[in-house]
Chains A and B, each alone.
Chain A
Amino acid sequence: MSDIRHALLRRDPLSAAKEVLYHLDISLGSALQNAPGATPGLDKNTVDLVEEFIFQVPKDRSVQRKRMSCVQELQLLEIMCSYFQEQSKDAIRQVIFSALFGLQGNKADESRMAMLGKLVSMAVAVCRVSILECAATWLQRSHSAWCVRLARVLVDDYCTLVPCSISNLQNICSASPRFCCQLITAVTALYDLSSDELTPPPALLEMVVGWITEDPRLLLLTFINMPLTSSLPIGCLEVTPLMGLLRWCVKAPLAHQRGRKQSLTNGHVETEKVPGCEELYSKLHLSVLQVFLMLQVHLTEQNLLGRLGVLQAESVATLVEELGRSVDELNPLHAANQIQLALDRLAQALQVAMATGALLCTREDLRTLCSRLPHNNLLQLVMSGPVVQPPPHSAPFQPSLYPYIHPARPSPLSPHATHQAALSSPHAAHPALSPLPTHPALSPHCPLPPHTAHSPLTPHAFHPAAMAFPYRPIR
Chain B
Amino acid sequence: MSAQGDCDFLVKRARELVTEDPWAAKAWLITARTLYPTDFSIQYEMYIIERNAERTSSAGRLLYDIFINFPDQPVVWREITVITAALRNDSQDKHALFLKGVFETLPGQVQCQMLLKATEQCFNTLEKAEMLLLLLKRFPESVVQHGVSLGESLLEAENVEDLDTPVNCFRKLFVCDVLPLIINNMEMRLPASLLHKYMHKAAEFYIGYVTRGPGADTQIQPSPEVTGLKSPGMGRGQRYVIDGLSEKSSVVTEPWERLLEIVGVVGARCEWQGEKGSRTYTELLQRVKELCRYLPGLEGETLSRCCSQIVTCSTLVLFRSAHHYISTVQPSLFQGHNALGVTPWVLLEDLSSVFNDVEMDRSSGKHAHKKRKLADGREKPMSSDDEDALGKGRGRHILVNKVEMPGWAETLEHFRTARESWDLLHSHDALESEFNKICMAWKTESWLWFRIFLTDMIIYQGHYRKALSSLVQLSALQPQQNQNSLSATSNLETHRALIQQASCHYALGEHRLACEKVLEVVSGLVPQNQEPVKPSEEQGRVRNKPRKGNDLRLIPCTSKDVLPFCLQLMLACFKLRAFSDSGRDDLALGHVIVLLQHDWPQGEALFLKAVDRICEQGSFQYENFFNYVTNIDMLEEFAYLRTTEGGRVQLELLPNQGMLIKNPSPALGVELNTLLLPGAQKADRHHTVTRGITKGVKEDFRLAMERQVSRCGENLLNVLHRFCINEKIILIQSLP
Contact = CB atoms under 8 A, between A and B. Distances in A.
B2 A387 contact: yes
Contacts of B107: 415, 419, 422-423, 469, 471
Interface residues of A, number: 48
Nearest to A384: B1
A389 B3 contact: yes
Contacts of A347: 31
B30 A290 contact: yes
A447 to B, nearest CB: 29
Interface stretch (B55-63, B284-292, B363-371, B497-505): B55-63
Nearest to A461: B58
A356 B70 CA distance: 22
B298 to A, nearest CB: 50
B350 interface: no
B153 to A, nearest CB: 28
Interface string A290-310: 100100000000000000000
A423 B109 CA distance: 9
Interface in A376-413: 377-378, 381-382, 384-387, 389, 391-393, 395, 406, 413
Interface in B7-36: 9-10, 13, 21-24, 26-31, 33-36
Most buried by B among A285, A345, A392, A395: A392
B30 A289 contact: yes
A395 B68 CA distance: 12
Contacts of B24: 282, 285-286, 344
B34 A351 contact: yes
B77 to A, nearest CB: 16
Contact of B31 (A352, A377, A391, A423): A352
Contacts of A377: 9
Interface string A271-294: 000000001001101100110010
Given A282-B21, A348-B27, A386 B3 contact: yes
A413 B23 contact: no
A351 B37 CA distance: 13
A342 to B, nearest CB: 12
Contact of B68 (A348, A354, A391, A413): A413
Contact of A462 (B6, B40, B62, B70): B62
B6 A414 contact: no
B38 A393 contact: yes
A375 interface: no
A353 to B, nearest CB: 9
A344 B23 CA distance: 13
Given A283-B23, A415-B68, A475 B37 contact: yes
B665 interface: no
B27 A382 contact: no
Nearest to B27: A286
Contacts of B204: none
B82 to A, nearest CB: 21
A232 interface: no
B141 to A, nearest CB: 12
Most buried by B among A285, A347, A377, A462: A462
A467 interface: yes
Contact of B34 (A345, A352, A391): A352
Interface in B395-417: none
Contacts of A466: 61
A418 B109 contact: yes
A152 interface: no
Contacts of A283: 23
B23 to A, nearest CB: 4
A300 to B, nearest CB: 14
A392 B43 CA distance: 14
A386 B36 contact: yes
A132 B3 CA distance: 50
Interface string B85-110: 00000000000000000000101111
B620 interface: no
Nearest to A466: B61
Interface residues of B, number: 43
Most buried by A among B3, B39, B57, B62: B57
B456 interface: no
A415 B28 contact: no
B40 to A, nearest CB: 8
Nearest to A286: B23
A18 interface: no
B50 A462 contact: yes
B64 interface: yes
A19 B71 CA distance: 73
A262 interface: no
Contacts of B36: 386
A355 interface: yes
A412 B562 CA distance: 81
Interface string A122-145: 000000000000000000000000
A7 B40 CA distance: 78
B246 interface: no
Contacts of A458: 55, 57-58
B501 to A, nearest CB: 72
Nearest to B28: A348
Contacts of A419: 107, 109
B64 A415 contact: yes
Contacts of A384: 1
B69 interface: yes
Contact of A471 (B35, B64, B70): B64
B588 interface: no
B592 interface: no
B390 to A, nearest CB: 74
A454 to B, nearest CB: 14
Given A289-B31, A356-B34, A463 B61 contact: yes
A356 to B, nearest CB: 7
B707 to A, nearest CB: 98
Nearest to B38: A391
Contact of B26 (A286, A386, A393): A286
A376 B677 CA distance: 115
B30 A461 contact: no
A352 B30 contact: yes
B46 interface: yes
Interface string B275-302: 0000000000000000000000000000
A412 to B, nearest CB: 10
Contacts of B10: 378
Contacts of A469: 105, 107
A355 B46 contact: no
Given A282-B23, A460-B23, A393 B70 contact: yes
Given A355-B34, A381-B35, A469-B107, A462 B26 contact: yes
A299 to B, nearest CB: 14
Given A462-B50, A462-B62, A406 B109 contact: no
Contacts of B3: 386-387, 389
Contacts of A460: 22-23, 26, 58
Interface string A434-466: 000000000000000000000000101111001
A450 B556 CA distance: 76
Interface in A302-361: 344-345, 347-348, 351-352, 354-356
Contacts of A406: 34, 37
A319 B68 CA distance: 39
Q: Which 8 A-B pairs rank lowest in CB-CB distance, beginning with the nearest?
A: A355-B34, A387-B3, A461-B58, A286-B23, A348-B31, A475-B37, A282-B23, A391-B38
8 contacts: A286-B24, A286-B30, A352-B34, A378-B31, A385-B35, A395-B38, A461-B55, A461-B61
Interface of B: 1-3, 6, 9-10, 13, 21-24, 26-31, 33-40, 46, 50, 55, 57-58, 61-62, 64-65, 68-71, 105, 107-110
Given A286-B24, A463-B58, A475-B37, 14 more contacts: A279-B21, A282-B21, A286-B27, A345-B27, A378-B13, A382-B35, A389-B3, A415-B68, A419-B107, A422-B107, A461-B58, A467-B57, A469-B107, A475-B34
